[in-house]
Amino acid sequence: MTAADRAGAHMVDALCAAGRIRSPAVERAFRSVPRHVFLPSFAVHEAYADDAIPIRFAEGAATSSASQPSMMAIMLEQLELRSGQRVLEIGAGTGYNAALMATVVGREGLVVAVDIDQELIDDAAAHLAAAGPRLDAAGAGPVELVCADGALGHPERAPYDRIVLTVGSDDVRPEWLAQLAEGGRLLLPLAVRGSQLCVALDLGEDGVLRSDSVQSCMFIRLRGIGSATGSTVVLGRTDLAVEVPSDGLPADPDRLLAALVEPGEVIRMPFPLRQADIWDGFGLWLALTEPGACRLVAAGSGTPARAGIDLVAEDLLPVGSSTASLALVTSHGPVGLALVVQTADGRQALRCFGPAGVDLAAVLVGSMQAWAAVGRPGAPDWRLTVVPGGTGEPGPGVVPKPHATVLAEVRSHGSPAVAG
In contact, 384 and 211? CB cutoff 8 Å: yes
Q: Are strands 180-192 and 160-165 parallel, antiparallel or unpaired?
A: parallel
Mean pLDDT of the chain: 91
**In sequence order, what DSSP letters do the residues of 165-230 get, joined into one string?**
ESSBBSS--HHHHHTEEEEEEEEEEEEETTEEEEEEEEEPTTS-EEEEEEEE---PBP-GGG----
Map residue 62 onto helix, strand or coil.
strand
pTM attached to this predicted model: 0.92
Point out the residues of the chain with pLDDT beneath 70: 57, 59-62, 301-308, 310, 390-391, 412-420
CA dist., res. 73 & res. 68, Å (int) = 9
CA dist., res. 226 & res. 184, Å (int) = 22
- Res 301: pLDDT: 58
Residue 157: partners with Cβ closer than 8 Å, 6 or more residues away: 86, 88, 110, 112, 144
Of 32, 64, 65, 67, which one is the catalytic site residue?
67
* Apex 304 CA angle, 298 and 308, nearest 5: 95
Burial per residue of 396-420, b for 16 or more beta-carbon CB atoms within 10 angstroms, e otherwise: ebbbbbebbbbbbbbeeeeeebebb
For the stretch 11-56, pLDDT in tens is: 999 999 999 999 999 999 999 999 999 999 999 999 999 998 987 7
Backbone angles phi, psi at 350, to 5 degrees: -100, 125
Q: Where are the alpha helices (DSSP H) in 90-131?
A: 96-105, 118-130
Minimal CA–CA distance to 350: which of 326, 372, 370? 326
CA dist., res. 379 & res. 255, Å (int) = 30
- Is residue 67 part of the annotated active site? The answer reads yes
For the stretch 283-301, pLDDT in tens is: 999 999 998 999 999 987 5
* Apex 301 CA angle, 299 and 305, nearest 5: 90
CA dist., res. 298 & res. 238, Å (int) = 9
